[in-house]
Structure 1
Amino acid sequence: MSIDLEVEVSGLNNADSQSLEVGEYGAEVAKEYADKAFEYAESAKDSKNLAESWAESTSAPTGEGTRSAKSWSDISRQWAESGAEPDGVVGAKSSKTWSNLSKDYANAASESVIAAKNSASASAASAKASSDSAKAAALSETNAASSAVSAKQSADTAATALTKLENVDLPLKADVASPTFTGTPKVPTAAVGNNSQLIANTAFVQAAVAALVASAPGTLDTLKELAAALGNDPNFATTITNLIADKLDKTANAVSATKAAQDGNGNNIVNTYATKNEVNGGITNLAKVASTGSYNDLLNRPTIPSKTSQLTNDSNYVAKDAGGNVTIAGTLTAAKVVNAYYNDYAEFFPRGEASEPGDIIALADTEKESYVKATKGSVMVVGIHSDEYAQIIGGETDENGNVDIEMVLQKYIPVALAGRVHVKYYGMAKAGMKVVPSEIPGVGRAFVDGDKEENVVGRIVEGDTFQNVRKVKVMVRRQ
């Protein structure tokens, strides 16, 4: 980065020595001015970024409630032309909306005038209709008088007919629909086999029953007796047929007897299979487990472990502690390792001070190797303090050869060397930007001309428009 700086120097001509004397504004002062100018340039750049946010940002430039010029321009356009509620104000309308409503009101007023004219015409028509109705009412009154005379005549006729009915004993008559008879009513006797809708009297029923019984014996002349004789079996015919199928054919007794002594494959049962006594006699010569199949009846039976702690193995034995951690004494080799939730590869670096995830870490300027939060003037930037590592190396074990991660974290910083992690950052973040340490310990900013490439800790992969210190995701050491 180059700085154009004008420095005013006063020269005094010594008449005696003919030499030029330079005042107190020497090289050191000029360097101080140059450093100060550089600080002003950085401040101007930050002011420029802030001014751009006030001009074009779509979010709050300096916190909740603030808006950029671009945002205010958009709100003004909403109040002028929006078809919805401008700026989210409930019930508010834009100038364009009010203009359209005024036009609608004017059209509605014009329609109301036309409707009033039509109503006046309708009123005149109603008046004429009322006159016609009055004439029709007078005619209806005349007709009503005539109807009253006719009704009087009908009432007199009905009274005469009722007098005639009163001379008849109505309760003694049967109803036409579903009549109930008393005494000994008689109906014609139909012939047996008649399928008409004639009423069946006692004579017809007795003749039909006699035809059904015919000459059946007395013990089988009712349905109950017949059912008992069939064993009350509704499938009597099928039952008898199945029983007959199980019987030997009397015309082929010899063949049937031979088949009865054979198995399904035609083998003679007596000659082919051992008897129960023969089988029992052979079993007594076998070990007990041959007949029981029980593990407990085995001779010299081995012990089956019920849990992994009962297993013994060589140096390749894999052990797991109560926390679910697996320790392998040898080398772990795998074709693939999948389902790692976190994204980066990290290493433990000796801790020089307290730090937290997201801090940029650099080598401390001390005789003994240790690492601290990085700043703009750090001697060597190494990576980012991470708690998102999928794999980490380094650290140390205790006296028993075990790794206590909590104790290791007290002495070492887990530093991401590759992958994607979150880093502390301030200023606008744009995808692809390089990140270097800022003047705030552990916090990054955007790379600018004049910064050292070796101080780049990574490139931003998820941008935003905020200005405050927060965490953004970067790809580590992508220069």
Structure 2
Amino acid sequence: MSIEIEVSAFNNAEGKALEVGEYGAEVAKEYADKAFEYAESAKESKNLAEAWAESNEPPTGSETRSAKNWADVARQWAESDADPDGITDVKSAKSWSSLSKEYANNASKSAIASSNSALNADSSAKASSDSANAAAISEKNSANSETSARQSAENAASSLEKLETVELPLKADLASPSFTGSPKVPTAAQGNSSQIIASTSFVQTAIAALVASAPGTLDTLKELAAALGNDPNFATTITNLIAEKLDKTANAVSATKAVQDGYGNNIVSTYATKTEMTGGITKLSTVASTGSYSDLLNKPTIPNKTSQLTNDSNYVVQDTSGNVTIAGTLTAAKVVNAYYNDYAEFFPRGGETETGDIIALADGGKECYEKATDKSIMVVGVHSDEYAQIIGGETDENGNVDIGKVIQNYIPVALAGRVHVKFYGTAIAGMKVVPSEIPGVGRAFTEGDKEDSVVGRIVASDSFQNVRRVKIMVRRQ
């Protein structure tokens, strides 16, 4: 925005004084203040213009593009080999140029083909004259061909008579053929149960598979029958013989009772031997006086890591990624090594957001949150992926928290600490940051902005002007 202010000063020739009329010090101060406001507004407009020129995102919301984006779209319309700007079934200037070149090449080829056709027509006329001469010669030759055809017919009749009387009787019929000599057939794969002819090789292989590795004395049905005593009721005979034997379980019960005391306890595993008692008494006096774990005879294993514990609801649970879940309240004197920088809370999601976006309450009846602008009713914080601790969200039916699923419905918003935020314009350490007219993007605080819209203060300066991420201390007003 360009503002021009014209101030006229008149020199009083007689009094040698500058005539300012009614423009006194107060009016001059007022103009100076107004000029400062215009300068700040001009600076803000400059930053916005640079966002319109260079931003990779919609400068003032959806369906808007910066000059940089339009330049890329223009390049696509000029040079892209694919559909420019994602529009289906359209071509770039480069594509049309290639297509025109192809059409020109095809037209050139067609012209050459037409020239060749004219030459062929001339050749055809000459060939027609030659064909007339050849026809006269063919007429003469046809008489000779007639004589040859008659001879060929006589030879064919003789060959047919030989085929019917001599050769056909030597062939086998398709239905129920009778073979002589040693006819051969293909050998089918083992396990084939179709009705094709089985070769001797197929049969021999099947017999070998049946015998397999049976011993020589049991590789025929006769030998198997002899081994079973030629008894057709072999199974019944064996069952009856087993019934005549003594029950082995009775002996086993007697043997078991022999090593038990009157209460059924196993004597060997329940009572110590004399040697064990002698050694135990020696150690008993020592451990009784020292109470030391090292003086115990049978030392129990003391777990030294979580995986050695049998977990229940009161233990620490660790998944394959190293994430730890604790059921109940965690109390600690000090927590260290959380190298990320901010404290965050899950806020209900009201729209798509990205890391670094300034987040504000959406203007509606239901509590949800979205990208902030200079018109937002309440700024709450910054979308963060750098949080050292986060609260809120929701659990599944088993009481567990799945961060990946929670982020689909909630925005992780940094409420305290240091975090990177989207910003355009010069960044100066200590400068307050408020939402701009670009959704989610911040700018420098200017006179007239509301203090409760300040999302934080810049902690690292830079001189860039484009939209980028700068580090701020959240809510340092």
Highest Rg: 1 or 2? 1
TM-score range normalised by the length of the shorter chain = 0.3 to 0.5
TM-score (norm 1): 0.40
